[in-house]
Structure 1
Amino acid sequence: MTKFDLHTHNQMCGHAIGTIEDYVKAAIEKELKMIGISDHAPYFHSEEDHPKPGITMAKSHFNRYVNEVLRLKEEYADQIEVLLGIESDFFPQHSTVYKQFLDEYPFDYLIGSVHFVDEISIFRKGRWEGLSNEEKVKTKERYYHLIEQSASSDMFDILGHIDAMKGFYPEFSNIQVEAIDKTLQVIGEYEKVIEINTSGKTKDCGGWYPADEILERALYFNVGVTFGSDAHDPDRVGDEFEEVQKRLKEIGFKELHYFRNREKYSVSI
């Protein structure tokens, strides 16, 4: 099996440790065939260069990020394939601005992630306090509508951690909505890929994103899958790849996808 990890961060975003090269070296040490570097894209829609230090890199650092990954891609070509990726927030009202910036660079793939619903971080611990059941349902529906829009925008290759809103609110998984099936159907129609992201283990919910029941529905809607550790520490590169592969096989998936020059490839599980 070709072992790879398409979702890794580094110190440029301000909340991860280690240089980009540290992640490449960790991947080599763990015998990965490919390592994708996908740090948090700047807030391109902001007039400020760096409106949220500690969340994303600055706009003025973006060229440096791309050039460093391309340098490492060349330097380590005989040891591992380094892929140039990015994890970009999806803000529907600013999607044109993001597309203009991202289309200028030779990315191998783009991860689109929804981190904000109603302008509140999905990881803010207190956001569910005091909400009625009806309000919780509407919040979850809005979350999945944004993910659906991110798929139909055709901006991204991979949709990041599609139930990460459960991170610090495990009860999120028990909120019943029909929106998940609709979202997965659209993801399948646009031939986008979702990631199995093992960073859920670092949050209150434990486990992975998304939950097994969502993966089962994803298979039903012919949604492709890939792997990402979402490592913010080089030690987590490739974390639980074998376990994910085994579980996907049990669910019924036959292959994992990766991207090169925005083209989708597959490897058998």
Structure 2
Amino acid sequence: MKFDLHTHHDRCGHAEGVIRDYIESAIEQGLQAIGISDHSPYFGDREDQPWPGIAMAKSDFASYVAEVLKLKEEYKDRIEVLLGVESDFFPEHADLYRGVYEQYPFDYIIGSVHKTEGVSIFNRKRWKGLSNAEKVRQKEIYYDLIRQSAESGMFQILGHIDAMKGYYPEFSAIETDAVEHTLRVIGENGMAIEINTSGKTKDCGGWYPSDDILERALHYGVSVTFGSDAHVPSRVGDEFEQVKRRLKEIGYKEWVFFRQKARVPVEL
């Protein structure tokens, strides 16, 4: 079975195409299931859409869900369309986000950390002039937020768990026990992590997470899933077969997707 749980569209302001385009691309690529998971609004902000180039407006969220559900029904005989969302994780607003999500029939929710201390993890300038000790601190803050998101009970999947390396490849070499501790917590909480192939679009190249993290994740019993993180329809399912082969080489026997928040295992 071929699936992709991480796709975006034009609502977020930095992706191309409408939802239908991604579904049609998935059918062309031979997928049996396609998850729609655009960036959640900033529910904790007073403004309706404080960052129009990053995430959808709060006032657009209900129509987003309605459109996915409509297309789910329309395409039911051709492909399974899954309702998802990629949610930012802000501990101070977790209850607010949780309350919003409980109103809708999500198949899954991806929890992703995109900011630490108010700065984007993809900000190229954030590492400039930092001492080694401060670099370690920044990495530990990032993984502490991922740990908290795993413990929050809000998500089924954790997104791109080493994406902070996107525009700073040296991130992977920063030594700290925080990664190991976070993987253990993810395993203890029964979470899945995605293999996200959008790393190839950043300076780091390759996928999120790196092979060494996937090996440790297997040790801690962490489930894995697949997400292209497509922001253009042509990337739907990108490198699915390559990821599948690599997971088998590492030692995984299966990966998972989610339907009505229930884990569905798929043999590799």
With normalisation by structure 1, the TM-score equals 0.99
Measured after TM superposition, the shift of residue 19 of structure 1 is: 0.2
Matches within 5 A, 1:1-269: 2-269=1-268
For 1:75, give the aligned amino acid.
E
Quote the Cα distance in structure 1 between the aligned partners of 2:97 and 2:110. 12
Deviations 1:130-179 (A, max 9, x none): 00000000000110000000000010000000000000000000101100
Deviations 1:23-49 (A, max 9, x none): 000000111000000000000111110
Q: Distance in 2 between matches of 1:233 and 1:21?
A: 12
C-alpha distance after superposition, 1:205-254 (max 9, x if no partner)? 00000000000000000000000000000000000000000000000001
Aligned partners of 1:48, 1:182: CA distance in 2, in Å?
A: 36
Query: How many angstroms apart in 2 are the aligned matches of 1:76 and 1:159?
Result: 27
C-alpha separation in 2, matches of 1:3 and 1:256? 11
Query: What CA distance in whole angstroms lies between the structure 2 residues aligned with 1:239 and 1:256?
Result: 16
Whole-angstrom distance in 2 between the partners of 1:114 and 1:89? 6
Letter of the aligned partner of 1:65 in structure 2?
Answer: Y
Question: How far apart in 1 are the matches of 2:199 and 2:177?
Answer: 23
C-alpha separation in 2, matches of 1:180 and 1:47: 34
SS state at 1:256 partner: strand
Q: For residues 5-64 of structure 1, what are the alpha-carbon distances to aligned partners after superposition, in whole Å with 9 as ceiling and x for unaligned?
A: 000000000000000000000000111000000000000111110111110000000011
Measured in 1, the distance between the counterparts of 2:144 and 2:9 equals: 30
* Separation in 2, partners of 1:51, 1:86: 18
Matched residues in 2 for 1:187 and 1:130: separation? 32
Q: Match of 1:196, SS?
A: strand
Aligned length: 268
Can you list the C-alpha shifts for 1:58-113, whole angstroms capped at 9, x where unaligned? 00000110000000000000000000000000000110000000110000000000
Q: Which amino acid aligns with 1:54?
A: G
Q: Aligned to 1:109, what secondary structure does the other structure show?
A: coil
Matched AA of 2:97: Y
CA RMSD of aligned residues (A): 0.4
Q: Gaps (5+ residues) in structure 2?
A: none
Cα offset, 1:124, TM superposition: 0.4
Q: 1:119 and 1:46 mapped to 2: Cα distance?
A: 13
Name the SS for the 2:85 alignment partner.
strand
- Paired with 2:186 and 2:129, the residues of 1 have a C-alpha distance of 32
CA distance in structure 1 between the aligned counterparts of 2:158 and 2:43, rounded to whole angstroms: 19
CA deviation after TM superposition for structure 1 residue 118, in Å: 1.1
Distance (Å, rounded) in 2 between the aligned partners of 1:3 and 1:193: 17
After TM superposition, which residue ranges in structure 1, 4 or more long, deviate above 3 angstroms? none
Report % sequence identity.
65
Q: Secondary structure at the match of 1:97?
A: helix
1-structure distance, mates of 2:217, 2:66? 35
- Give the partner amino acid of 1:223: V
